[in-house]
Amino acid sequence: MKYTLLTFTLILSLFACQSETKKGLRDNPDTEVVENFLISGKIEGASEAKLYLEAMSQQGVISVANCSIDKNGEFEMLGNIPDMGIYQLRLGESKDKIIALSLLPNDEVTLTSSFESFQNNPKFEGTEWASTLTEYIQLFNDFAKKQEELGKQQGTISEEELMSKYFALRKPIDDFCKTTIRKDADNPVNFLLTSFLMPSMGFKNWEAENLEVLKLMGNAYKERFKESPIVTNMENQINTIESNFNQFQAMSSGNAMAPEITLNNPQGKEIKLSSLRGKYVLIDFWASWCGPCRKENPNVVRLYNKFKDKGFTVYSVSLDKDISAWQKAIEKDGLTWPNHVSDLMGWESSMPTLYGFQGIPHTVLIDKEGKILNVGLRGATLEQKLNELFN
């Protein structure tokens, strides 16, 4: 599995007016902008640097405000925001000195930090979300360091052991996020905490409690931030997660039939999943661009060759868009079974919704009648299950 650090969530629908602070001129002095937030404080070792407040949109980065830090490291930034939102503070011209923060109109927040530890150990004060964000950033960075160390063990221990250690590492921050949201469900900082509650790695190891907490926060936000575009965006996302999670649970119950798949192979020939009835089938969702998928392919090839004469086959569903890359990956990885299909729509395919997954590789093992036996089997666990079926 390829491990990447979890990042703060940035909303794509925020727009704000750009302004300078009291210590400088506005970009457009003819335009009156009502300043409705203040961020001030001291950043040791950052004298003469610039500090930027930015929002992310579908058009890219939007500058909200900026200021210069004086020779003593002190600064004062005033600006205007339209509503509650998630923004980022960027120090200097570097792309790695960034802090994500929640911000409301009329917030007056104090930030104390240093140039070196700006993104790792800032201290916020003065708002309802300040102390929570300070603690969360510390927990996040502790987790990130330990995760980086764990990543060095990849290839030296089994995938199952690696995953077990990963979830043990993130448990403290998972528990912090859930406890914090339960205590103060409408706090604007909670939107940042949800990055650890989302099913970013699929539903196999995802807890139903996470959905409960997300719904609690969503309902609280609807009450407090009725007009914010964040609320609508978040409500839609939570509803989608709930629908997919319910579908995943149904598929994992041992009683569900695998939904029909009717897609074409690289030569344009239609291959239905139901055409393989009478065999045990591993439905393998993958793509040529997916590193973990390609890493798992030799194991799938080995198990296919081991059990193909006993009534086992593979039905590979690619989330590729490029037919050439798809075909080359099939050939290079030696995926010799004949059942390769795709709609060549990438993540816009209907397959993730139909089968309730959000990451690949994702597997679904079905029996001779098309009933789902297991979901998410890979590596040694897949081999163990196949041994149980055929030996």
Q: How does pLDDT run across 326-341, given as a tens digit for each residue?
A: 999 999 999 999 999 9
Please state, in angstroms and rounded to a whole number, the distance separating the CA atoms of residues 153 and 159. Answer: 10
Is this prediction's pTM over 0.95? Answer: no
Q: Which residue has the tokens 């030296």?
A: 156
Domain 262-390 has CATH 3.40.30.10: yes
Q: Are 26 and 19 in contact (CB under 8 A)?
A: yes
> Are β-strands 60-68 and 50-57 bridged in parallel, bridged antiparallel, or unpaired?
antiparallel
- The pair phi, psi for residue 351, each rounded to 5°, is -65, -45
Asked if 13 contacts 228 with a C-beta cutoff of 8 angstroms, the reply is no
Residue 176 to residues 6, 119, 154, 307, 331: CA-CA distances in angstroms? 15, 20, 27, 45, 47
Q: Where in the chain are the domains?
A: 140-251, 262-390
Convert the pLDDT of each residue in 292-323 to its tens digit.
999 999 999 999 999 999 999 999 999 999 99
The total number of residues written for the chain in this structure: 391
Question: CB neighbours of 157 closer than 8 A, spacing ≥ 6?
Answer: none
Nearest to 284, CA basis, from 174, 194, 363, 350: 363
Of 319, 308, 313, 251, the C-alpha closest to 285 is 319
Give the mean pLDDT of 150-162.
84
CA atoms of 53 and 305, how far apart (whole Å): 57
Helix, strand, coil shares of the chain, percent, nearest 5, are 40, 25, 40
pLDDT digits (tens, 9 = 90+) for 99-119: 999 999 999 999 999 999 999
Nearest CA-CA partner of 275 in 313, 220, 227, 247: 313
242-284 pLDDT per residue, tens = 988 888 887 777 678 999 999 999 999 999 999 999 999 999 9
Alpha helices in the chain (DSSP H): 130-151, 159-183, 190-193, 208-224, 229-251, 291-307, 323-332, 351-355, 379-390
Taking the C-alpha atoms of residue 217 and residue 211, their distance in angstroms, rounded to an integer, is 10
Cβ-contact 42, 115 below 8 angstroms: no
